[in-house]
């Protein structure tokens, strides 16, 4: 398992005076490398989920079944969102050690942390709804499924390999949909979505780990549509679980607000700091193609011109 075990080890063993291994200025390749090594975490968790649920339990849905799935997802959230927040932000020795690695040198207040924790819990509840529904559809043969992963090895591996890229592509379009479209050709529904839905996520402009899944419920519903691939393909439960868990916890590192050996997502930090750039991810460079990519140099030049260099 890579994230967060590898990150914790690197933080605990790093020299406080060592040069910062910055992702700033390194562009897409640096962040692509960081994000890819995390994938083993999601695969391991998907396996754990797969072997701790019997699909026959979902044939007749019950409150007990939903409560079990919900508790499992909340535990996942507590470990990854809560645990990484406590490690980086609440343990004074670690906070002091990582301070110079923080993109924004100021720290969010407790009111933001509480708000983010509440909406993250909401998001994991909606994730549970998607999970329980998919199990019900499979258990009752409404959607086809296969249970021997290695019966179709190339097919099974292929559908595992593209999940991160599908997630990035889906995230870009859902996310971009909720920002102003800046066009007069059609009504700007993106502005309405931002004002009424997506604004909640952007309240955390100086993000922390708990900010990642802190969204309006309508945004959660859109966000988790990435898991609906079984409506298009006959898949193994591992494909769905890998996709869902990727959606559940990948926002942790992307929002923790720190250089490596923290999450290292300067790309997405810039989006929260400046709103109209970097709508997607570095791995599938939609922002490059649609002209919204920003590496931070434009804002650094502004700081230099204003005499705010460090």
CB 132, CB 60: distance < 8 Å: no
218 pLDDT more than 60: yes
Q: How many Cβ atoms from other residues are within 10 Å of residue 191's Cβ?
A: 14
Residue with tokens 């290292």: 264
Query: What is the structure's pLDDT at 268?
Result: 94
pLDDT of 240: 98
The percentage of residues in the chain with a pLDDT greater than 90, rounded to a whole number, is: 79
Helix (H) or strand (E) holding 123: helix 110-139
Q: Which residues pair with 102 in a beta bridge?
A: 258
* pLDDT exceeds 80 at position 305: no
Dihedral sign (CA 98, 103, 109, 110): negative
* Burial bucket for residue 211 (CB in 10 Å: 0-12, 13-18, 19+): buried
Looking at per-residue pLDDT, the higher value among 90 and 297 belongs to: 90
**What's the whole-model pTM score?**
0.91
Q: How far apart are CA 59 and CA 135, in angstroms?
A: 8
Q: Which value, to the nearest 10 degrees, does the dihedral of the CA atoms of residues 83, 273, 198, 164 take? A: -60
Q: Does the pLDDT at position 96 exceed 60?
A: yes
Residue 155, pLDDT above cutoff 50: yes
Classify residue 141 as left (phi > 0), alpha (psi -120 to 50) or beta: left
**What whole-number distance in Å separates Cα of residue 7 and Cα of residue 34?**
11
* pLDDT at 302 > cutoff 80: no
Q: How many helices (H) and strands (E) does the chain have?
A: 16, 0
pLDDT digits (tens, 9 = 90+) for 240-281: 999 999 999 999 999 999 998 999 889 999 999 998 999 998
Rounded Cα distance between 253 and 224, Å, is: 18
Give the model's confidence band at 27: pLDDT under 50 very low, under 70 low, under 90 confident, else very high: low
Q: Is the dihedral of CA 50, 56, 58, 64 positive or negative?
A: negative
DSSP three-state, residue 102: strand
The answer to whether the CB of 227 falls within 8 A of the CB of 241 is: no
Question: Which are the contacts of 262, defined by CB distance < 8 A and separation ≥ 6?
Answer: 7, 11, 88, 98, 101, 102, 253, 256
pLDDT of 306 reads 41
Q: Is the pLDDT of residue 173 over 90?
A: yes
Q: Decide which of 239 and 24 is more confident.
A: 239
Candidates 174, 162, 163; CA nearest to 286 is 174
Q: What is the per-residue pLDDT for 23?
A: 57
pLDDT band at 307 (very low <50, low <70, confident <90, very high): very low
Q: What pLDDT shows up at residue 303?
A: 45
């Amino acid at each position: 398992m890579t994230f967060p075990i590898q990150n914790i080890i690197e933080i605990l063993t790093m020299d406080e005076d060592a040069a910062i291994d910055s992702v700033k200025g390194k562009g897409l390749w640096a962040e692509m490398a960081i994000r890819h090594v995390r994938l083993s975490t999601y695969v391991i968790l998907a396996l754990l989920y797969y072997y701790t649920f019997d699909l026959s339990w979902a044939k007749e849905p019950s409150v007990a079944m939903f409560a079990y799935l919900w508790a499992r997802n909340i535990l996942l959230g507590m470990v990854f969102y809560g645990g990484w927040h406590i490690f980086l932000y609440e343990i004074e020795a670690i906070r002091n050690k990582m301070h110079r690695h923080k993109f924004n040198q100021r720290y969010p207040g407790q009111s933001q942390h509480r708000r983010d924790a509440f909406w993250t819990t909401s998001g994991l509840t909606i994730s549970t709804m998607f999970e329980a529904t998919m199990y019900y559809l499979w258990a009752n043969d409404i959607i086809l499924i296969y249970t021997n992963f290695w019966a179709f090895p190339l097919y099974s591996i292929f559908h595992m390999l593209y999940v991160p890229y599908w997630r990035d592509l889906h995230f870009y379009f859902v996310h971009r949909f909720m920002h102003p479209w800046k066009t007069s050709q059609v009504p700007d529904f993106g502005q309405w979505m931002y004002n009424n839905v997506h604004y909640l996520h952007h309240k955390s402009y100086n993000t922390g780990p708990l900010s990642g899944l802190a969204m309006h419920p309508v945004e959660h519903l859109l966000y988790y549509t990435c898991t609906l691939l079984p409506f298009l393909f006959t898949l193994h439960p591992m494909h769905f679980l890998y996709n869902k868990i990727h959606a559940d916890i990948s926002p942790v590192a992307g929002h923790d607000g720190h250089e490596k050996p923290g999450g290292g997502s300067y790309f997405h930090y810039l989006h929260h700091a400046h709103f109209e750039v970097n709508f997607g991810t570095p791995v599938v460079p939609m922002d490059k193609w649609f002209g919204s990519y920003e590496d931070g140099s434009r804002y650094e030049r502004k700081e230099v011109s204003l005499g705010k260099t460090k």
